[in-house]
Structure 1
Amino acid sequence: MSGTVFGAFYDVVRRIPAGSVSTYGQVARLAGMPRSARLVGYAMASCQDPTVPCHRVVDRFGGTKAAFDTFAPGTQRALLEAEGVAFRLDGTVDLEQCLWTPES
């Protein structure tokens, strides 16, 4: 079952354009499972599919996660900055500026 659920999350994440981010909760809601933000985190951390831009998913405060720092500390931030994602002084993503708003 988790493969199917994870697949629904991956489908949503593939839609996030470069330069934008989504939150775990937003991905869960868009996949039709609004109370599954933690499960989205598990899906992103275990994803081995390079077509899924997992680095574009952050926590509800715009925080990055060490699970994405596969090469070195700060990997997720570096990937996001390379796409033009803005960060606040506290090190979190500026969600007001960069949160993805999908078209219905």
Structure 2
Amino acid sequence: MPRKPKESPAQELRRRVLEAVRAVPPGQVAGYGEISRRAGYPGRARLVARILSAGDEPGLPWHRVLRSDGRIAFPPGSAGFDEQVQRLRAEGVRVESGRVRGQRAAPTLDQILWAPPD
């Protein structure tokens, strides 16, 4: 039985980022930085954006990934912006003026460990 060729570091990174994006459930959103942390590459938010900008992965729920402040990264009025708003609203996500409302980003480990109790 032939062995599967080993992934390069770049292929592994891409695969892990795409898996993290696929893991965001419908009706939820995540920031680029959060996706990079979930994939095991903290601090690589721009790389996540670059991977998603390729747009070569069919069925990928790219529309669930936003800037850290909840804003859509596409320029307002662009085709990408309009499509992302439409997809998010179809999943029940509240979008106002290009920003998702009513959802918080998942806390980082530091926030979990060091934040004061509610």
TM range (shorter): 0.7 to 0.9
Q: Structure 1: any 5+ residue segments left out of the alignment? A: none
Judged with a 3 Å threshold, the aligned counterparts in structure 2 of structure 1 residues 11 and 83 are, in CA distance, closer, same or farther, namely: same
- Structure 1 position 5, deviation (Å): 1.0
Task: Return the TM-score normalized by structure 2.
Answer: 0.71
- Structure 1 position 65, deviation (Å): 2.4
Larger radius of gyration: 2
Task: Return the TM-score normalized by structure 1.
Answer: 0.79
Deviation sequence 1:55-80 (CA, Å, 0-9, x none): 1100001111228x985651111111
Say which structure, 1 or 2, has more relative contact order (CA 8 Å, 6+ apart): 1
- Structure 1 position 91, deviation (Å): 2.6
Q: Structure 2: any 5+ residue segments left out of the alignment? A: 1-8, 108-118
SS at match of 1:52: coil
State how far apart, in whole Å, the 2-side matches of 1:66 and 1:84 are: 20
Match among 89, 98, 102 for residue 91 of structure 1: 98
- Quote the residue 2:67 is aligned against: 59
**Count of aligned positions:** 98
Q: Identity of counterpart residues, as a percentage?
A: 31
